[in-house]
Amino acid sequence: MTLSRSLEQLFKRKSVKYGIPFLLLVVGGSFGLKHFASLRFEYRKVTLITPEIAKELGIELKKPGTLESEYEKIKDMDIDNWKQVRGPRPWEQNEQS
């Protein structure tokens, strides 16, 4: 057998004919997707607002609360006695209006 005949038989196999292009598509696609996903984050038009810029614009930034400060807010509330109130459905609001 010659080399060209053995290669011809090799490329006639279904595993080579369909498997190699599939693997190339999956592996190549993952690299391509990684490239396009990184472009999304590299060229964003969104800029972060620093506290100095917020003061210039007149925006008041709230400081993040701690778990203890949130606990202090609800500590004195009576959470054991409550009544469940059903909110109106959209079709019920239209009938009342």
pLDDT for 22 equals: 93
DSSP 26-88: HHHHHHHHHHHHHHHHHT----PPPHHHHHHHTPPPPPPPPHHHHHHHHTTS--SS----PPP
Number of domain units in the chain: 1
pTM of the model: 0.38
pLDDT for 92 equals: 80
> Cβ distance 54 to 60 under 8 Å?
yes
- pLDDT tens figures, 28-76: 999 888 888 888 778 777 778 888 888 888 888 777 788 998 898 888 8
In a domain, 49, yes or no: yes
Least confident of 8-12, 19-23, 85-89, 91-95: 91-95
In a domain, 47, yes or no: yes
Tell me the residue length of the chain.
97
Distance of CA 26 to the CA centre of its chain: 22
In the predicted model, what is the mean pLDDT of residues 77-87?
Answer: 87
Q: pLDDT band for position 11 (50/70/90)?
A: confident
Q: Which domain holds residue 26?
A: 1-74
In a domain, 86, yes or no: no
Give residue 58's region: left, alpha or beta (phi > 0; psi -120 to 50): left
